[in-house]
């Protein structure tokens, strides 16, 4: 299967019933969407792009970006994209051009500023002048020419932090991307009468799976009119969306906005979440406000999406309350095991095996792809319960040892702290000591928000109370760092822990 086949969809009539893509400018039937893809593909061919060309893709996360990915599939391009960034900065694009040396840069963005700067830097840049007048002006319904009828190897290379924290380029076949779209959307119960709210990005797994998954199942795909999560409850209500995916940081903002301005979200059937430990209090608030089916998924960029699931039945049984970072049962797509080497009390590195993994890590300078071997080492710590559920504990490279030798998992501590009123962000860091303690790593809970303005004794009491509800005393951090100012965040809305570590003042730490 190919991405373009999910839009051309041989089993469905081209002019299927009603709109299938609801964009910011207009809505599109399947036939109209195919016409837009055909125009894009023809334009790319006229500018010299051919099957097998390596293309650095600059896209907005809207219907234009979706149509470009379908056009790339039709031609047989190999796409290079920075993983999970809403908008890369110009220096990041320049660095990718210099390191990956793509055959072309394709600028499908609306403003065109980065494309122009890359052209001035010597890159071969292709664009779409007709997009300036909007896709709504396209007059005909020409068919899409398919240059590459078979799934493309090395179809998608994602530049990501990978499993070790070091930058990696992950190479994914088009076949794997399509199989994962099909398997995930079956789990999430996509159907023809569904209305899928596209909360993800077109350079991450959620965006590609939700958008092309909607097309695969002949559902209606709804693009948000803005990327501001606080605006989404009203948009979800207006569009009568049935499916939504939110990461914990986005869910927190979504719930806060919903509590301030309640709207009718009764059309929602399924809400998916994942990618980080979910604070219990936040999840319970969200489930009370949106009583539909909730599904937690665990996956990696190396597997292009989730393969392990906690379904609504598991939520009703309270499995998410018994474990801070519970992810439920693996599906049939991959074999999951715990590496016995170095495992402590059943907790060890999570290993994966099967066909539903990446082609390998790509050397962007040479294009050589190194396969992962028999088992893919995830870098995640977990254990498998006697009932067969996989429970995550955290990342190997994030684990902090307490002074009494206990292993502290940041995700567990962060999940407990994130539910405290007045805490905007919470991260656990291992901070090197000073003086006679210079060789000792001190586990420090770093919090930002209104609570930080309180007296140290009150902060200590509130934090200790939250920790005591979910963690034994041995797993607590030793100190607290409190900041009224927000923590620095990346373009992906993640707290930059290295920057927070620089803010920590050893003299201002609060002893827990």
The DSSP annotation for 87-102 comes to S--HHHHHHHHHHH--
Say whether pLDDT at 140 is over 70: no
**Dihedral, CA atoms, 480, 482, 486, 490, nearest 10 degrees?**
-20
Phi first, then psi: what are they for 484, rounded to 5°?
-70, -35
DSSP code for 346: T
Express each pLDDT in 428-470 by its tens digit.
888 765 443 433 467 899 999 999 999 999 999 999 998 888 7
Contacts 24+ apart (CB under 8 A), 307-311: 307/183, 307/331, 307/333, 307/334, 307/336, 307/352, 307/356, 308/336, 308/390, 309/187, 310/389
Say whether pLDDT at 99 is over 90: no
Q: For residues 232 and 363, what is the distance between their CA atoms, to the nearest angstrom?
A: 39
Which has more pLDDT, 492 or 251?
Answer: 251
Which has more pLDDT, 356 or 112?
Answer: 356
Express each pLDDT in 364-409 by its tens digit.
777 788 898 899 999 888 999 998 999 988 777 766 766 555 667 7
Q: For residues 239 and 195, what is the distance between their CA atoms, to the nearest angstrom?
A: 8
Q: For residues 66 and 40, what is the distance between their CA atoms, to the nearest angstrom?
A: 11
pLDDT of residue 256: 93
Which has more pLDDT, 212 or 507?
Answer: 212
Strand, helix or coil for residue 307: strand
* Structure-token pair, residue 351: 């290993």
pLDDT of residue 433: 55
Strand, helix or coil for residue 499: helix
The residue with tokens 């399509």 is 178
Say whether pLDDT at 46 is over 90: yes
Q: Is the dihedral of CA 27, 29, 32, 38 positive or negative?
A: positive
Which has more pLDDT, 87 or 98?
Answer: 98
Phi first, then psi: what are they for 459, rounded to 5°?
-60, -45
Phi first, then psi: what are they for 112, rounded to 5°?
70, 5
pTM of the model: 0.82
For 176, the enclosing helix (H) or strand (E) is: helix 174-187
Most confident of 114-118, 308-312, 368-372: 308-312
pLDDT of residue 348: 92
C-beta of residue 126 within 8 angstroms of C-beta of residue 102? no
Express each pLDDT in 157-211 by its tens digit.
988 754 444 457 899 999 999 999 999 999 999 999 999 999 999 988 999 999 9
Say whether pLDDT at 247 is over 80: yes
The pLDDT-based confidence of 239 (bands split at 50, 70, 90) is very high
pLDDT of residue 416: 85
Which has more pLDDT, 347 or 408?
Answer: 347
- What is the mean predicted confidence (pLDDT) over 351-363? 91
The answer to whether domain 399-511 has CATH 3.30.300.30 is yes
Domain ranges of the chain: 399-511
pLDDT of residue 98: 85
Express each pLDDT in 254-278 by its tens digit.
999 999 999 999 999 999 998 677 8
pLDDT of residue 19: 67
Q: For residues 206 and 494, what is the distance between their CA atoms, to the nearest angstrom?
A: 17
Average pLDDT of the chain to the nearest whole number: 86
C-beta of residue 208 within 8 angstroms of C-beta of residue 182? no
Which has more pLDDT, 288 or 113?
Answer: 288
């Amino acid at each position: 299967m190919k991405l373009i086949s999910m839009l051309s969809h041989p089993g469905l009539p081209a002019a299927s019933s009603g709109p299938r893509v609801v964009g910011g400018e207009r809505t599109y039937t399947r036939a109209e969407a195919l016409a837009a893809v055909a125009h894009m593909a023809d334009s790319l061919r006229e500018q010299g792009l051919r099957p097998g060309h390596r293309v650095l893709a600059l896209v907005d996360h809207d219907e234009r970006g979706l149509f470009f990915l379908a056009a790339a599939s039709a031609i047989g391009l190999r796409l290079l994209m920075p993983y999970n960034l809403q908008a890369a900065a110009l220096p990041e694009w320049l660095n990718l051009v210099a390191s990956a040396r793509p055959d072309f840069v394709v600028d499908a963005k609306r403003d065109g500023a980065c494309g122009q700067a890359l052209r001035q830097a010597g890159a071969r840049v292709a664009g779409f002048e007709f997009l300036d007048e909007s896709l709504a002006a396209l007059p005909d319904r020409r068919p899409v020419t398919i240059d590459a009828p078979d799934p493309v190897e090395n179809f998608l290379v994602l530049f990501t932090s990978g499993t070790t924290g070091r930058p990696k380029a992950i190479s994914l076949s088009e076949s794997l991307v399509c199989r994962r779209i099909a398997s995930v959307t079956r789990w999430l119960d996509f159907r023809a009468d569904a209305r899928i709210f596209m909360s993800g990005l077109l350079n991450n797994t959620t965006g590609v799976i939700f958008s092309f998954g909607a097309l695969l199942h002949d559902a209606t795909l709804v693009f948000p009119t803005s990327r501001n999560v606080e605006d989404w409850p009203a948009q979800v209500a207006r569009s009568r969306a049935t499916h939504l995916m939110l990461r914990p940081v986005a869910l927190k903002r979504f719930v806060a906005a919903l509590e301030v301005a309640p709207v009718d979200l009764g059309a929602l059937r399924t809400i998916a979440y994942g990618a980080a430990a979910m604070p219990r209090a936040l999840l319970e608030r969200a489930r009370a406000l949106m009583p539909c089916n909730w599904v937690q998924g665990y996956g990696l960029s190396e597997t292009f999406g989730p393969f392990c699931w906690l379904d609504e039945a598991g939520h009703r049984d309270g499995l998410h309350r018994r474990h801070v970072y519970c992810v439920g049962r693996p599906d049939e797509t991959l074999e999951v095991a715990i590496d016995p080497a170095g495992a402590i009390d059943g907790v060890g590195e999570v290993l994966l095996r099967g066909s539903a993994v990446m082609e390998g890590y790509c050397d962007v300078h040479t294009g050589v792809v190194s396969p992962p071997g028999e088992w893919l080492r995830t870098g995640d710590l977990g254990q498998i319960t006697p009932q067969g559920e996989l429970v995550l504990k955290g990342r190997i490279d994030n684990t902090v040892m307490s002074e009494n030798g206990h292993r502290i998992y940041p995700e567990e501590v962060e999940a407990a702290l994130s539910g405290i009123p007045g805490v905007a962000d919470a991260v656990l860091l291992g901070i090197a000591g000073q003086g006679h303690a210079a060789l000792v790593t001190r586990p420090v809970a770093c919090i930002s928000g209104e609570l930080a303005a309180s007296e140290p004794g009150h902060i200590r009491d509130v934090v200790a109370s939250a920790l005591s509800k979910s963690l034994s005393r041995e797993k607590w951090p030793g100190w607290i760092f409190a900041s009224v100012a927000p923590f620095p965040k990346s373009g992906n809305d993640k707290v930059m822990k290295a920057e927070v570590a620089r803010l920590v003042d050893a003299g201002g730490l609060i002893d827990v």
